[in-house]
Chains A and B, each alone.
Chain A
Amino acid sequence: MKANDRNNWLQEDHDLADEFQDVASAWQKEKQKVPNLQGVLDRKIRKFAYAHIEDDLQHHWLFGQSPRLATAATLFFAIGVYFVFSLPEEGRALEPTRKVDSSIERRQSVTRLANQREADLNLAREVWEKERWEQTQKATASGWVKLSLIVSDQGNIEKIDVVESCAKRNGHCEEDSDLNTYAIDVVKRKSYKPGVHEELILSNRQGQPN
């Protein structure tokens, strides 16, 4: 309240008191007529007031003599509800676990992909190395035979096929049965692990096996 406003109202109070002073004086005598308060009511109110604060303190969730289970349960429930509703809409309480799980899965997937890729690269490198070696050998040799063979679990050669054969004559490749027979004999003398294999047998001289 502004000082000016307060002063105005103080003045109003004074003016009113002055104007009706006679009424006020007459009324002052009337005040005596109020009967005394009953003692019973007095005691009743005091008792209620004492009981109220005792009850308040008794049931105070922290300072009470025995904080009740219901209070504790309510508190935990409220915290739970708050926690659930404070999370984003999707997933609610499961969200943190899902986040961790998906992170682990993503990392494992990346590792798996990296391993696979490395393995693929190694295989490709091996194939490429082999092909390059074969090309180099073919380019320098006077003749060659490429064979495919199947080796049994016992290490015996079960089948030999000539995949490709080249006996160079006048700069051209020709089929040469002697060269093929020679290549098959060479393979038969060698030992292989079980499985399917390919073997390249070279001849250094023109028309003659190596």
Chain B
Amino acid sequence: MALALTDDAGRYGATEQISDDQLMLAYRRGDKRAFDALYTKYKSPLHGYLYRHCNSETQTAELFQDVWVRVIASSSRFEGSGRFRSWIFTLAHNCLVDFHRKNEKQQLHTTYEESAGGNGPDDEAGESELRSALDRSLRRLPLDQRQAFCLREEQGFSIKEIAVIQNVTAEAAKSRLRYTYKKLKASMGGQRS
């Protein structure tokens, strides 16, 4: 995972590759552009990941902000051992766990069904139904399984990396993934039939 160094105008250009870790260390030393580069790179993946686990955009925005505040506040403790990507998603994972503990009574995945009914008018009816079924099935699963699935399918993490982020063994991570896939596959089959 790498980004480019600055060009003549001071922006991070395409002349030489530098890693996320180097960017984070540069930010620690006071380089705002390094933070910009990291933020630009990770804002969409992180936002998408958090959105999958929340009811609304407001909650997602709240969590998103919380994660970045943690990233910024913990920047002085970041050691740069080549794992920035895992590190930031670990922070996101922890934020989600904290958030869901606080809102346990609200049962986010059930209320989601009420709020996530509407899809784009341009979507074809079949695809829309399939996506809704998948989405609904995913949101009914426990948080750790949903997280494992999103980390793999949306962020491209391996089983081992997911295990590190969720602080479990690789076997446990694999088991979670397999269970999630099977559940989703079953819900797809039910929808199609």
Contacts and interface: CB of A to CB of B under 8 A. Distances in A.
Interface of A: 1, 9-10, 12-13, 16, 19-20, 22-24, 26-31, 33-35, 37-38, 41-42, 44-46, 48-50, 52-54, 56-57
A109 B66 CA distance: 74
A30 B134 CA distance: 8
Nearest to B31: A53
A17 B155 CA distance: 14
Interface of B: 27-28, 30, 32, 35-36, 39, 43-44, 47-48, 51-52, 57, 61, 64-65, 68-69, 72-73, 75-76, 119, 127, 130-131, 134-135, 153-154, 158-160, 170, 174, 177-178, 181, 184-185, 188
B71 to A, nearest CB: 8
A10 B35 CA distance: 32
Nearest to A9: B160
A23 B153 CA distance: 10
B49 to A, nearest CB: 9
B188 A48 contact: no
Given A37-B47, A37-B64, A45-B68, A23 B181 contact: yes
Q: Which of A45, A48, A54, A57 has the most CB of B within 10 A?
A: A45
B73 A52 contact: yes
Contacts of B43: 37, 42
B131 A29 contact: yes
Contact of A50 (B32, B65, B130): B32
A52 B72 contact: yes
Contacts of B159: 9, 12-13, 16
Contact of B181 (A19, A34, A44, A50): A19
Given A16-B174, A16-B177, A53-B27, A27 B134 contact: yes
A9 B185 contact: no
B184 A23 contact: yes
A56 B72 CA distance: 11
Contact of B39 (A1, A9, A46, A56): A46
B61 A33 contact: no
Contacts of A13: 158-159
Given A16-B174, A16-B178, A48-B72, A22 B188 contact: yes
B76 A30 contact: no
A13 to B, nearest CB: 5
Contact of B48 (A34, A42, A54, A56): A34
Contacts of A41: 61, 64-65
A31 B48 contact: yes
A27 B134 CA distance: 7
B64 A20 contact: no
A49 B134 contact: no
A132 B135 CA distance: 127
A51 to B, nearest CB: 9
Contacts of B153: 24, 27-28
Contacts of B47: 34, 37
Given A23-B185, A27-B153, A30-B134, 6 more contacts: A13-B158, A26-B130, A37-B47, A45-B69, A48-B72, A49-B39
Contacts of A16: 159, 174, 177-178, 181
B154 A35 contact: no
Which of B135, B181, B185 has most chain A Cβ within 10 Å? B181
